[in-house]
Amino acid sequence: MIETDVIVVGSGPAGSSAAKHAALGGAKVILMDKKSEIGSPKRCAEGVSIQGLEKLGIEPSPRWVTQKIAGVRIQTPDGTDIWLTEDQVKIPEAGYILERKVFDKHMAMDAARAGAEIKIKTLVTGIDKIENGYIVETESMGVKQDYKCKILIAADGPEGHIARWAGLRPAAKAKEMESGVQYEMCNVEFEKPGIIEFYLGSCAPGGYVWIFPKGDDIANVGLAILPHKAEKTAKEYLDDFVANSPYLKNAQAVELNVGGDPVGGMTKKLYDDNIMVVGDAAGQVNPLTGGGIISGMTGGMCAGQVAAQAIKEDCSKKFLKLYDEMAHNELDHEIKRYKKVQEYLLTLSDEELDELGHAFEGESFEKISTTEIVKKLIKISPKALLKLGKFI
């Protein structure tokens, strides 16, 4: 039996953030991942905001930044384009397109440098609650090993096995789990360089299509759908889009990624005695964009800080409630607001989206952010005002 203070299951950005901050706080930490390579396969469009990285104290590195975002293109079903580019408006919350395979390793290395021990190719096969912690059962390369910890942090993605085994409810209901599929492609043509592109409507029911540039002629081309609103699989919708896009007529896929994305908001219970849940496993995802890197890392940071403190004081749910309070304080405002916007957009037909696109064409922006776009939406649409009037 190997004993430690904290075990973090899952070495995505949220898990590595939790491990890093727990170790920085003086806890003895083991970070486990079932994969043989941290960061692979990616299940992400790889976009993050500069502001989010700054808040987490992460310095951008040319090793994992592939493209600085220079603006946004939004296209409605009839082909109406809304261009929001840095030569026209200020982009205070612009961001980067990452190389997740490098970024995730970078974050895990940050955790290691803070003092965490990393176990790759280590599958958690079960957990047992004991009086003062958890027994974590693992298998690695055919070898079984049990670990004992005072605090278990579940960062195992949207599947959320650890939280479920611990008796905590999963983050997303089936109807709020988007199905995502993405190609990384070369030979992609761009109308304007460095622009992230979003295509709305029935091309991706319940979600949207994206083209995120990664430098030169390379881009992530993907979509997410809500299966109960769709008539085909996510891959069928994506293949249809690729076949009909003039920008992708010569494009070739070099990678295929698939996965679920919980867009139902944060799970009701993020903690219990000796356990906390972070990242996608906790629904710490923007319901409108489906992005979860920065929000997951924020949740991970909160959990890591509380874990280090709890090891010195009290690992019961009474103390770990502090994590719940911190996570909701940091993330609730954004998640709840954008959940309302997502619900509103789900009510719109292709024709209504086209009408909004036409109205947006004549609008001017001083700066670009999701909040500014929603404010304009409320201004031009009576239906949006009715549904989203309290957003501002």
pTM: 0.93
Give the H or E element holding residue 58: none
Positions of CATH 3.50.50.60 in the chain? 2-44+101-172+264-336
What b/e string do you get for 261-281 counting C-beta neighbours within 10 Å, with b at 16 or more?
Answer: bbbbbbbeebbbbbbbbbbbb
Using only C-alpha atoms, what is the Rg of the chain? 21
* Spatial contact of 307 and 319, defined as CB atoms under 8 Å apart: no
Give me the pLDDT at residue 173, please. 78
d(CA 121, CA 243): 38
Residues of the chain with pLDDT under 70: 86-94, 170-172, 362-370, 385, 387, 389-392
d(CA 248, CA 37): 30
d(CA 293, CA 344): 24
Give me the pLDDT at residue 171, please. 61
Tokens of residue 363, six digits: 């609008």
d(CA 379, CA 376): 5
Q: Which of 170, 172, 166, 169 is nearest to 273 (CA)?
A: 166
Give me the pLDDT at residue 248, please. 98
Give me the pLDDT at residue 83, please. 86
Give the H or E element holding residue 222: strand 219-225
Cβ of 33: how many Cβ atoms within 10 Å?
26
Number of residues written out for the chain: 392
| CATH class name, domain 2-44+101-172+264-336 | alpha beta
Could you confirm whether domain 67-95+174-262 is CATH 1.10.230.10?
A: no
Q: Which of 62, 64, 56, 45 is nearest to 14 (CA)?
A: 56
Positions of CATH 3.30.9.10 in the chain? 67-95+174-262
Give me the pLDDT at residue 380, please. 76
Q: What is the 3-state secondary structure (H, E, C) of 141-155?
A: CCEEEEEEEEEEEEC
Give me the pLDDT at residue 192, please. 92
Q: Which of 292, 291, 375, 388 is nearest to 348 (CA)?
A: 388
Q: What is the 3-state secondary structure (H, E, C) of 326-351?
A: HHHHHHHHHHHHHHHHHHHHCCCCHH
Give me the pLDDT at residue 321, please. 98
Give me the pLDDT at residue 390, please. 64
β-pair partners for 4: 149
- What distances in angstroms separate CA 333 from CA 58, 135, 187, one per listed residue? 22, 35, 40
Give me the pLDDT at residue 366, please. 65
Q: How far is CA 179 from the centre of its chain?
A: 13
